[in-house]
Structure 1
Amino acid sequence: MNKIPSGTLVVVADGQGARVFRNIGTPMAPSLQQLDLLELVNMNDDGPSGVIAADASGQEIHEATFAKQLALGLNEGALKDQYAHLLLVADPQTLGRMRPLLHKQTQQRLIGEMAKTLTNARLEDIERALAP
C-alpha cells in the first residue's frame, strides 16, 4: 500500500456494512481511529446500484443497495469538503458496485483502493494491511 496521509478517511466495507476510520498516524505508520459503523438503512427508499439480474437473491439486492448508499454518502462528504483524502478497502464486488457511482469530487480525493474483505478484521490487522 502507498503512503496514507494523516487525516485520510479510510472506509473498510463489504456488502453488509462499513467501518469508517481516520488516519491519525503518519503516512508511513498509519494509526486508525474509528469514526463510524455503517449498515444498510431505509432499504425501501433506495434501489440497488448497477444492473441487478432478475434472479438476484435478496442478499445480493441488499448488498448492491448498501454499496449505493455508501457511495452516495461519500459523495456527500466530498461535496461538503468533509475529507481531503479517501482510501477504500472493500471486497471486489462492493468496489465494483461503488466505482461508477462516485462523484468526480470523490474520485479526485480517492488516493487508493484495496480489494480485500477486512470489515470484521481486528484494528491491528487493518493497520498492518495498510502499512507501506
Structure 2
Amino acid sequence: MKVPHNAHVAIVDGERFILMQNTGKPFEPELKTLEEPDLTNSNYSAGVRHQDDIGQRLGRTQLEELAHGAAVAECLNAKAIAGEIENILIVADPKSLGEMRNHYHSELEKRIVGEIDKTVTGESSDRIAKIIAES
C-alpha cells in the first residue's frame, strides 16, 4: 500500500492506540512512534447496538473495546480538525475499525489514505511497515 512520506499511521486495537509517522518512501514505509495517547473511554454509544440478551450472556458485547475505538476516532477527529494530520493510514482490528468508522468526522475522512483491518499492536515497527508495504 502506498503511504505518503510524513503520513500519520494509527495503530489500534481494543485496548491500545499508537500514533506513528512514515519517515520512509511511499512504497517503502519506515515508521517512527510519535505518541501513545492515554484515552478515556467515555462514548458507549455502541452499547445501543449491543444490548441483545444472547450477546450479554455469552460475553460478546465488549463495550470497553468499542468505546476505545470511539475514543480513538474522537482523538483523530480533533487532530484532523486542528490541521495536525494531513494524511493518515489506519491499521486496526476489524471490530475497532468498524466502530471507528461510525465516529469519523468529515475532516478526518478527507485525510484517510487507507485502512487495513488487521491486529498489529504487538508487532515491531519494522514488521508493521512490512505489513503495510505488502497490503
Same-fold call, TM cutoff 0.5: yes
Q: Is the 8 A contact 2:44 2:63 kept in 1?
A: yes
Partner of 1:47: 43
TM-aligned CA deviation for residue 40 of structure 1: 4.3
Partner of 1:28: 27
- Does 2:70 correspond to 1:94? no
Partner of 1:82: 84
Instruction: Give the % identical residues.
Output: 29
Partner of 1:4: 3
Mapped partners of 2:83, 2:89: distance in 1? 15
Unaligned 5+ segments in structure 1 are none
Q: What amino acid does structure 1 have at the position aligned with 2:101?
A: R
Gap change, CA 1:123 and 1:16, over 3 Å in 2: same
TM-aligned CA deviation for residue 110 of structure 1: 0.4
Partner of 1:61: 63
Mapped partners of 1:25, 1:7: distance in 2? 8
Please, what TM-score do these two structures have when normalized by structure 2?
0.87
TM-aligned CA deviation for residue 73 of structure 1: 0.4
Count of residues paired in the alignment: 128
User: Which has more radius of gyration?
Assistant: 2
TM-aligned CA deviation for residue 39 of structure 1: 4.4
Mapped partners of 1:82, 1:49: distance in 2? 27
Q: What amino acid does structure 1 have at the position aligned with 2:72?
A: L
Q: Secondary structure at the match of 1:131?
A: helix
Deviations 1:9-68 (A, max 9, x none): 100110111111011111121110101113442x4xx13243232528498111011111
Unaligned 5+ segments in structure 2 are none
Structure 1 residue runs of 4+, over 3 Å off?
56-59
Please, what TM-score do these two structures have when normalized by structure 1?
0.88
Q: Secondary structure at the match of 2:37?
A: strand
Mapped partners of 1:59, 1:37: distance in 2? 25
State the superposition RMSD in angstroms: 1.9
Deviations 1:69-123 (A, max 9, x none): 1000000000000011010001111000000100001001001000100001111
Gap change, CA 1:60 and 1:78, over 3 Å in 2: same
